[in-house]
């Protein structure tokens, strides 16, 4: 890496644009960056870091205030660096986030950070990226270092390495871990520690599960744990296999008990089966004996009723013979009934005027006459309908004539009114045209009064806002005054305790910034609650924020005052008169608009009236022609109507009916009466024939069935239900006799009747006792089988739990041993050193070796650094301790015993050694520009010469070294300088080449 040019604007103490030309300073290979305290020497280095990485090192990055407070308002902070990285020329242009003034209104808004990185290719700058993350990855990849490593390698901050030299092992551990990025080894330690805790928790959980299963298994099997075993301490028995053996024994014992219960159940089952069979046989013998007794009694009862049975058989036989003539009996009754009804119908049909005593021949002739009369009436029905239609047409013609006459009268009136309507339409058209011409002026007048009224309302609102803004401004003024008083009080208190503040920054062997002494016999102590620089800075920041707020509120009051004056000037008159004028202007405009909207309609009305005159004249002529045609057609229709009426009157004459409808109804009624009489006579003749045939058939059937007459057959008949019941009783008697005889003939029944009756009660008692024994055996078998099943299941669960616990137990032992080893707590770790410390110890030994290569020449071969693994006083872990060996005395001593100059020389060597190691780790990246910061004031002339020789050696290979110091002697030794000049308006830079 080589720096070429740096441009800084509004960054740190530099309020305006400054340019540092590193190429001009690189001619001598060594240049001095000098200036008074606070001028901005370190800020130049910060600008380089910010351009490369977008951040600054140390505590300055926490404040997040990189912009110069003394820069003009609106000037953006900016750093532009031109540098060569890994042989490629880049231009990095960065701006941090800052609060810029708003483009509209008052106050500020956050302007986000941005970057533009370009590469010089073939003589031109080619943009590569504008993304902050991409630029960061690019720089880190090209340099091979993070910001922290870059600051340790390229900036060499001596003050920090003096503290590193005298630090405790824990403090060195933190710094080296940050530089060498060895946090992964800490994560390994943490992972092992967490894994150990996780395994222990899992082992404990599995062990509790084992204890629970062992307790349940012991309770289920009814056997205790092995002698001397505590359920709360099963680790030993579980690991040694005792618990598994005990579970296997319980499974075997429960299986044996279940087998014994199964054998007992088999014996009880056989006994119960035998008892049940004996009881069944005894009950069967008793049942058969009872059957023999019941069958004997039933047969005797049936023999006693044999007479009734024979009488029922004879009655059924006679009823079956009568059933053969039942249909003819029914047919004869129906024929007699039909004949009686037919004779009654004939008498009723002939009981009509003109039909009494008439014969069939007379009735037939009368029906023919009536049919002819009906046909004539139906023909005249068409004539009657035609007459009605003619009357309707005449009425319609009269109505049409009346309508046409009314239309003609209306047309005549409209023609008379047309001149007056045309004059009115022309007047309306002229009025609407005048209103349309006046509309623009009325609209302008309304806009003017509305604007004045709106300005008056705005003035009222602005007056309220102005009053509130003035109150807020007064509050802000009081707050600024109070915060300024607080800040001045804190500043005064801090100045009073400045001696204690300076004393607080002193270190053993360090120079006093006031007197320069290395000894500090009685440093001042701060009083309780004394403010420090941070408190004063915070108070000043509050004052600055309050002043910004006060300025914003002042601008708001000024703006509201101007706007209020403008609104009042626009409003003019009083609000009441303004509202009235607005209302009047609106009414006038609405009236004119209404008239103007009628213009097109008025023009159309006038045109329609002119056209209507001609149309009305044509319409009157047409109406008169239609009236003449209607009169001619009406005369023709009246002639046809008179002819039809004459024919109808001739037909109705002498009938006593007023119209054809009543005449037709009378004829239909008489014809229907004749038809009914003819049909009744025919039906009576058919009924007489049917009655005669039925009587002949019944007489023949009675003779064949052996009955003297119909009455005898009626007596022999039985109702269907009675016949079925009697036949069923006969069949039941026959079946009962057969059943009883078959039972009495059964050999088993006969044998049971002759055998000795069994003792059924004794057999029942024996069977119940056997069943009870079987139930008991079943319960015992189920209990032992269930216990054996549950014991086997719990034993399987215990075996599975053991299988899960044993690997965890083994892993826990291994992880516990390994975690203790990497934490430095294991006896096997003889150095008592953590893994991360061991790695850093190796790195530190590399740094010490590289530092000693420079320290020997810088200290005239007197001092060398030693890395020791032993622990320092009060330290719990070793591995990162440093000693300084004095070759003149042959003794090694603590770095805290060194003088200020010795401390600087050794710290510089340590910093250079660290830079060499980091450079090698970064892949041998070339760092052609280095900076060494402060500490030279504590060296004597000879030592300073040795240090300068070492710095000169850093220039080998074209490297440029910048020394940061305000020591006057350095200005005489290094002629090429970059001086930082501190001024009230902001620092500036001056380049001096010797």
Q: Tens of pLDDT along 935-974?
A: 565 566 666 776 677 667 666 656 788 888 877 777 778 8
For residue 9, name the pLDDT band (cuts at 50, 70, 90).
very high
| Residues 871-885, mean pLDDT to the nearest whole number | 68
pLDDT at residue 356 above 80?
A: no
Out of 647-661, 868-882, 961-975, the most confident range is 961-975
Q: Kindly state whether residues 494 and 525 are assigned to the same domain.
A: yes
Is pLDDT at 403 greater than 90 in this prediction?
A: no
Highest mean pLDDT among 48-62, 673-687, 750-764, 896-910 belongs to 48-62
369 and 347 within one domain: no
Q: Are residues 385 and 407 in the same domain?
A: yes
Q: In this structure, are 350 and 404 located in the same domain?
A: no
- In which band, very low, low, confident or very high, does the pLDDT at 92 lie, cut at 50, 70 and 90? very high
Region 528-556: mean pLDDT is 82
- pLDDT of 792 above 70: yes
Same domain as 511, residue 393: yes
pLDDT, greater one: 454 or 507:
454
What percentage of the chain reaches a pLDDT higher than 90?
Answer: 6
Q: What is the mean pLDDT of residues 380-392?
A: 68
Label residue 739 by pLDDT band (50, 70, 90).
Answer: confident
**Do 439 and 348 share a structural domain?**
no
Work out whether strand 960-964 and strand 30-34 pair parallel, antiparallel, or are unpaired.
Answer: parallel
CATH code where residue 931 lies = 3.40.50.300
Confidence class of residue 602 from pLDDT cuts 50, 70 and 90?
low
pLDDT level of residue 96 (50, 70, 90 thresholds):
very high
Same domain, 691 and 584: no
Which of 11-25, 136-150, 281-295 has maximum average pLDDT?
Answer: 11-25
Total length of the chain: 994
In the chain, the number of structural domains is: 3
Average pLDDT over residues 44-50: 91
pLDDT 10s digits, 701-714:
777 777 777 777 77
pLDDT confidence tier of residue 11, bands split at 50, 70 and 90: very high
Residue 875 has pLDDT above 60, yes or no: no
Least confident of 187-196, 308-317, 410-419, 477-486: 410-419
Mean pLDDT of 363-370: 68
Secondary structure (3-state) at 932: strand
Average pLDDT over every residue of 105-129: 89
pLDDT value of position 771: 84
Q: What is the mean pLDDT of residues 881-896?
A: 86
Residue 341 has pLDDT above 70, yes or no: yes
Same domain, yes or no: 588 and 712: no
Please give the residue that has the higher pLDDT: either 414 or 742: 742
Q: What is the mean pLDDT of residues 637-650?
A: 69
* Mean per-residue pLDDT, 498-508: 64
Q: For 264, how many CA atoms within 13 A lie in the half-sphere containing its CB?
A: 18
**Dihedrals phi, psi of 719, to nearest 5 degrees:** -65, 150
| Cα separation, 654 vs 650, whole angstroms | 9
- If one counts every other C-beta atom within 10 angstroms of the C-beta of residue 57, the result is 20
For the residues of 884-905, what is the DSSP string, one character each?
A: EEETTTTEEE-GGGS-HHHHHH
Taking 60 as the threshold, does the pLDDT of residue 63 lie above it?
A: no
pLDDT, mean of residues 119-140: 90
The answer to which of 460-474, 579-593, 847-861 has the lowest mean pLDDT is 579-593
The model's confidence at residue 656, banded by pLDDT at 50, 70 and 90, is: low
Residue 774 located in a structural domain: no
* 549 within a domain of the structure (yes/no): yes
Same structural domain for residues 331 and 388?
no
Higher pLDDT, 332 or 892: 892
Give percent of the chain above pLDDT 70.
80
Q: Does 6 have pLDDT greater than 80?
A: yes
pLDDT class of 877 with cuts at 50, 70, 90: low
| Confidence band of 924 (pLDDT split at 50, 70, 90) | very low
Closest of 726, 691, 901 to residue 312, by C-alpha: 726
> What's the helix, strand, coil split of the chain in %, to 5?
70, 10, 20
- What pLDDT score was predicted for residue 114? 92
Per-residue pLDDT, averaged over 347-372, amounts to 66
User: What is the extent of the structural domain holding 133?
Assistant: 1-144+926-994
Asked if the model's pLDDT at residue 918 lies above 60, the reply is yes
Residues 596 and 699 in one domain: no
Pair (555, 413) in one structural domain: yes
Least confident of 112-121, 334-343, 883-892: 334-343
> Is residue 87 predicted with pLDDT exceeding 80?
yes
Give every CB contact of residue 248 below 8 A, 6+ residues apart in sequence. 795
724 within some domain: no
pLDDT, mean of residues 892-911: 79
The reply to whether 153 falls in a domain is: no
In a domain, 368, yes or no: yes
Interatomic CA distance for residues 442 and 438, integer angstroms: 7
95 within a domain of the structure (yes/no):
yes
Mean residue pLDDT of the chain comes to 78
**pLDDT tens sequence across 765-775:** 888 888 888 88
DSSP H stretches of helix in 54-94: 60-63
> Highest-confidence range of 113-127, 364-378, 410-424, 601-615, by mean pLDDT?
113-127
Output Rg (C-alpha) for the chain, integer angstroms. 68
In a domain, 984, yes or no: yes
Angle between helices 306-322 and 720-745 (to 10 degrees): 140
The string of pLDDT tens digits covering residues 264-281 is 888 888 888 888 888 787
pLDDT exceeds 80 at position 378:
no
Distance CA 326, CA 714 (A): 8
Q: 183-221 vs 835-858: helix axis angle to the nearest 10? A: 160
Per-residue H/E/C for 742-779: HHHHCHHHHHHHHCCCCCHHHHHHHHHHHHHHHHHHHH
User: pLDDT of 201-227, one tens digit each?
Assistant: 888 888 788 778 777 877 777 777 777
Q: Which of 585, 600, 615 is the last residue of a domain?
A: 600
pLDDT at residue 573 tops 90: no
User: Is the model's pLDDT at 511 over the cut of 70?
Assistant: no
CB within 8 Å of 231: residues ≥ 6 apart: 211, 214, 215, 225
Asked if 956 and 987 touch (Cβ cutoff 8 Å), the reply is no
CB 412 within 8 A of CB 670: no
Do the domain assignments include residue 571? yes
Last residue of a domain, one of 600, 615, 633: 600
426 with 332, same domain: the answer is no
- 3-class DSSP state for residue 20? strand
> What pLDDT does 367 receive?
67
Domain boundary among 600, 622, 642: 600
């Amino acid at each position: 890496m080589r720096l070429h040019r740096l441009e800084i604007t509004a960054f740190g103490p530099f309020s305006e644009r400054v340019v540092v030309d590193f190429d001009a300073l690189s001619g001598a290979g060594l240049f001095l960056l000098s200036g008074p305290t606070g001028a901005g020497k370190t800020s130049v280095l910060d600008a380089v870091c910010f351009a490369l990485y977008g951040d600054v090192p140390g505590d300055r990055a926490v404040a997040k205030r990189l912009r110069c407070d003394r820069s003009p308002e609106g000037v953006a902070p900016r750093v532009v660096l031109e540098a060569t990285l890994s042989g490629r020329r880049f231009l990095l242009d960065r701006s941090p986030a800052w609060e810029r003034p708003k483009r509209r209104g008052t106050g500020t808004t956050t302007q986000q950070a941005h970057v533009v990185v370009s590469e010089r290719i073939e003589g031109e700058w080619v943009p590569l990226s504008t993304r902050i993350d991409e630029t960061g990855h690019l720089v880190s990849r090209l340099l091979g270092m993070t910001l922290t490593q870059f600051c340790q390698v390229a900036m060499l901050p001596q003050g920090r390495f003096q503290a590193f030299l005298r630090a405790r092992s824990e403090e060195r551990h933190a710094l080296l871990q940050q530089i060498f990025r060895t946090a992964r080894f800490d994560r390994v330690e943490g992972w092992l520690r967490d894994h150990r805790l996780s395994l222990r928790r899992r082992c404990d959980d599995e062990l509790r599960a084992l204890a629970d299963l062992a307790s349940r298994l012991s309770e289920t099997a009814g056997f205790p744990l092995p002698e001397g075993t505590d359920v709360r301490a099963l680790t030993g028995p579980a690991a040694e296999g005792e618990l598994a053996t005990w579970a296997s024994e319980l499974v075997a014992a429960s299986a044996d008990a279940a087998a014994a219960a199964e054998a007992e159940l088999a014996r009880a089952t056989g006994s119960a089966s035998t008892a049940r069979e004996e009881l069944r046989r005894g009950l069967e013998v008793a049942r058969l004996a009872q059957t023999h007794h019941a069958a004997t009694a039933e047969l005797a009862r049936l023999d006693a009723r044999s007479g009734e049975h024979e009488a029922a058989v004879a009655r059924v036989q006679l009823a079956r013979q009568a059933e053969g003539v039942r249909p003819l009996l029914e047919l004869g009754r129906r024929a007699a009934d039909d004949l009686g009804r037919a004779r009654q119908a004939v008498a009723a049909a002939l009981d009509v005027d003109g039909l009494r005593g008439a014969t069939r021949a007379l009735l037939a002739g009368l029906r023919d006459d009536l049919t002819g009369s009906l046909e004539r009436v139906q023909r005249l029905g068409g004539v009657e309908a035609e007459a009605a239609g003619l009357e309707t047409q005449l009425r319609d013609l009269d109505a049409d004539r009346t309508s046409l006459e009314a239309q003609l009268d209306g047309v005549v009136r409209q023609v008379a009114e047309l001149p007056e309507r045309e004059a009115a339409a022309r007047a309306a058209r002229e009025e609407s045209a005048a209103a349309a011409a006046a509309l623009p002026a009325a609209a302008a007048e309304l806009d003017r009064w509305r604007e004045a009224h709106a300005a008056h309302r705005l003035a009222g609102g602005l007056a309220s806002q102005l009053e509130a803004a003035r109150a807020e401004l007064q509050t802000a003024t009081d707050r600024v005054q109070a915060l300024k008083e607080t800040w001045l009080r804190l500043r005064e208190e801090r100045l009073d305790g400045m001696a204690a503040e300076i004393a607080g920054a002193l270190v053993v062997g360090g120079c006093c910034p006031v007197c320069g002494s290395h000894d500090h016999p009685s440093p001042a102590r701060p009083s309780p609650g004394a403010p420090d620089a941070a408190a004063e800075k915070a108070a000043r920041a509050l004052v600055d924020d309050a002043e910004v707020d006060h300025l914003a509120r002042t601008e708001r009051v000024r703006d509201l005052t101007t706007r209020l004056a403008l609104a009042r000037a626009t409003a003019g008159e009083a609000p009441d008169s303004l509202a009235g004028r607005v209302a009047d202007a609106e009414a006038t405009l609405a009236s004119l608009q209404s008239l103007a909207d009628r213009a097109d309609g008025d023009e159309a009305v006038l045109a329609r009236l002119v056209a209507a005159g001609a149309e009305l004249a044509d319409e009157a002529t047409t109406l008169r022609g239609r009236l003449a045609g209607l009169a001619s057609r009406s005369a023709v229709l009246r002639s046809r109507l008179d002819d039809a009426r004459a024919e109808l009157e001739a037909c109705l004459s002498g009938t006593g009916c007023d119209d054809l409808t009543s005449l037709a109804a009378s004829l239909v009624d008489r014809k229907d009466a004749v038809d009914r009489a003819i049909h009744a006579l025919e039906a009576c003749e058919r009924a007489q024939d049917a009655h005669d045939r039925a009587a002949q058939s019944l007489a023949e059937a009675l003779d064949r069935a052996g009955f003297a007459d119909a009455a005898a057959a009626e007596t022999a008949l039985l109702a269907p239900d009675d016949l079925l019941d009697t036949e069923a009783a006969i069949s039941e008697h026959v079946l009962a006799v057969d059943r009883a005889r078959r039972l009495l003939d059964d050999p088993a029944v006969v044998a049971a009747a002759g055998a000795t009756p069994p003792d059924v009660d004794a057999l029942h008692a024996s069977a119940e006792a056997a069943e009870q024994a079987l139930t008991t055996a079943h319960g015992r078998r189920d209990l032992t089988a269930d216990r054996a099943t549950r014991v086997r299941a719990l034993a399987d669960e215990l075996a599975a739990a053991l299988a899960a616990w044993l690997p965890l137990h083994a892993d826990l032992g291994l992880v516990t041993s390994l975690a203790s080893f990497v934490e430095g707590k294991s006896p096997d770790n003889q150095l008592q050193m953590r893994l991360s410390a061991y790695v850093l110890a190796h790195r530190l030994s590399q740094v010490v070796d590289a530092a000693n290569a420079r320290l020997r020449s810088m200290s005239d071969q007197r001092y060398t650094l030693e890395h020791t693994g032993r622990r320092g006083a009060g330290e719990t872990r070793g591995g990162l301790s440093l000693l300084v060996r004095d070759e003149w005395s042959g003794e090694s001593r603590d770095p805290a015993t060194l003088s200020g100059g010795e401390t600087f020389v050794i710290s510089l060597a340590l910093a250079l050694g660290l830079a060499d190691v980091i450079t090698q780790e970064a892949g041998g990246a070339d760092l052609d520009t280095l900076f060494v910061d402060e500490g030279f004031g504590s060296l004597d002339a000879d030592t300073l010469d040795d240090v300068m020789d070492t710095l000169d050696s850093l220039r080998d290979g074209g490297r440029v070294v910048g020394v940061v110091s305000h020591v006057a002697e350095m200005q005489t030794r290094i002629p090429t300088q970059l001086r930082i000049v501190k001024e009230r308006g902001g620092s500036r830079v001056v380049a001096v080449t010797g």
